[in-house]
Structure 1
Amino acid sequence: MSSEFGVPEPVSLSAMGEDPIAESSVRLALPAEADRIGEIQVTAWRATYHGLLPADVLLDLNPAQFAAQWRAALLSPGEARNRVMVALAGRELVGFAAITPSDDPDADPKSDALIAELAVDPAATRAGHGSRLLNAVVDTVRADGFTRVTVWVNSTDDVLRAFYTEAGWSPDGAHRELDLYGDESVRIKQIRLHTDPGSAD
């Protein structure tokens, strides 16, 4: 199924062994992996939003609640172009990305895709998993007929912004503020980055 959507099939990096396993790969997620996806999302959010959100809010994040939402999404994705992809280190799931037609007010969902989430377990960063996920996302949205893909990043997250810009993404001028509680007591500023999936090699 992976190759059908432009994502390379896992390839073994070892010629030895009766059951060779790729050292790293990316493929479509399975419903049974929802628990691990929820765990990674909570761990990644606690790192990403440290100092931006109150500590008690981050502490209260519940992996099981996130997992239930991911399981439902994987079992009933709705829109055919809703995709959840996972990065693997051997057999271990270490990251994931979720892509969907964009629901931004200025977007055309027929041509604009949105990375709703892209997260790697902080314990598995700096091993290329994020880049492999991003490349697979671009390949997949291109195969699904999108001509543009966007992502929102926190305006103060220089590391994440550099991750995207070094891959060829750039700001498109859009920005927003998330109001966590609806009373303006906790607001997070974000900027939108974009790329043309058709421009990838």
Structure 2
Amino acid sequence: MADADVREAVPSDAAEIARIQLTTWRTAFSELLPAEVLDGLDGAATEQEWHRTLTGGPASVLVATEGQWIVGFCAAGPAPEAEAAAANGTPPSDAATVALVSALLVEPRWGRRGHAGRLLGAMVKRLAEGGATRGITWVPEADTASMAFFRSAGWAPDGTVRTLDAGGRPLRELRLSGPIEMQFEDR
């Protein structure tokens, strides 16, 4: 494997982050999301949204690289109260120190090379330095690969579920919660 690394994303990375997001969704989520939803994703709008995030937040974004290529990314920041709250809307006692990993994607052709682990490890280190004590993320219940990855990092479903409308098809997501200090288990 060529040199692998993680670095902070810069605004000029927006196009590549958008390409990776759309490629990964169209490949990895083809059975979770209707074809018309995936076909309707707008590359220019996605790139513009990432450019806004990279220039003004609120999330921090890291990219994984292998050699000269950007192969994945992770976006995270303080969890909005609604994201961290219990199913009944009650905020947790640690709400002020909960971080939300809003995206963690590695382009499928670059998978199984440790990029996701490096991204999550670097991001949680950054989050801990900013005062976070716990992380959360939302994962489609049927996404067994992502579930297994987060479980290997010590994150697990915390009992909160949401159902999104994915082009007229319900998409059930589980909220996973885990420690900021992590060590990956071999699977």
The alignment's TM-score, normalised by the length of structure 2, stands at 0.86
How far, CA to CA, are the matches of 2:62 and 2:160 in structure 1? Answer: 26
Which residue of the partner structure matches residue 164 of structure 1? 150
What do the CA deviations read for 1:43-71 (whole angstroms, capped 9, x no partner)? 11112321222212212212221111011
Of residues 109, 112, 130, the one that matches 1:126 is: 112
How far, CA to CA, are the matches of 1:196 and 1:105 in structure 2? Answer: 14
Which residue of the partner structure matches residue 55 of structure 1? 35
Tell me the amino acid that sits aligned with residue 197 of structure 1. I
Please tell me whether the aligned partners of residues 101 and 109 of structure 1 are also in contact (alpha carbons under 8 angstroms).
Answer: no
Is 2:62 the partner of 1:74? no
Report matched runs for 1:73-152 at 5 Å: 73-77=53-57, 79=58, 82-103=59-80, 104=83, 106=85, 107=91, 110-152=96-138
Instruction: Pick which of 44-53 and 62-71 moved more.
Output: 44-53
Tell me the amino acid that sits aligned with residue 94 of structure 1. V
The alignment's TM-score, normalised by the length of structure 1, stands at 0.81
- Count residues in correspondence: 175
How far, CA to CA, are the matches of 1:135 and 1:57 in structure 2? Answer: 31
Which residue of the partner structure matches residue 6 of structure 1? none
What do the CA deviations read for 1:25-56 (whole angstroms, capped 9, x no partner)? 00110000100000000011112321222212
Tell me the amino acid that sits aligned with residue 59 of structure 1. D
The alpha-carbon deviation at position 127 of structure 1 amounts to 1.0
Is 2:180 the partner of 1:197? yes
Gaps of 5+ in 1: 1-12, 14-21
Q: Which has the higher contact order (CA 8 A, sep 6+)?
A: 2
How far, CA to CA, are the matches of 1:64 and 1:88 in structure 2? Answer: 23
Q: Percent sequence identity over matched residues?
A: 37
Is 2:186 the partner of 1:186? no
What do the CA deviations read for 1:85-115 (whole angstroms, capped 9, x no partner)? 0000012100000002112151565211001
How far, CA to CA, are the matches of 1:47 and 1:151 in structure 2? Answer: 21
Tell me the amino acid that sits aligned with residue 33 of structure 2. L
How far, CA to CA, are the matches of 1:132 and 1:96 in structure 2? Answer: 10
Q: Which has the higher helix share?
A: 2
Tell me the amino acid that sits aligned with residue 120 of structure 1. V
Instruction: Pick which of 141-150 and 97-106 moved more.
Output: 97-106
Larger radius of gyration: 1
How far, CA to CA, are the matches of 2:64 and 2:33 in structure 1? Answer: 27
How far, CA to CA, are the matches of 1:194 and 1:30 in structure 2? Answer: 28
Gaps of 5+ in 2: 86-90
Please tell me whether the aligned partners of residues 75 and 101 of structure 2 are also in contact (alpha carbons under 8 angstroms).
Answer: yes
Tell me the amino acid that sits aligned with residue 134 of structure 1. L
How far, CA to CA, are the matches of 2:68 and 2:51 in structure 1? Answer: 19
Please tell me whether the aligned partners of residues 97 and 132 of structure 2 are also in contact (alpha carbons under 8 angstroms).
Answer: yes
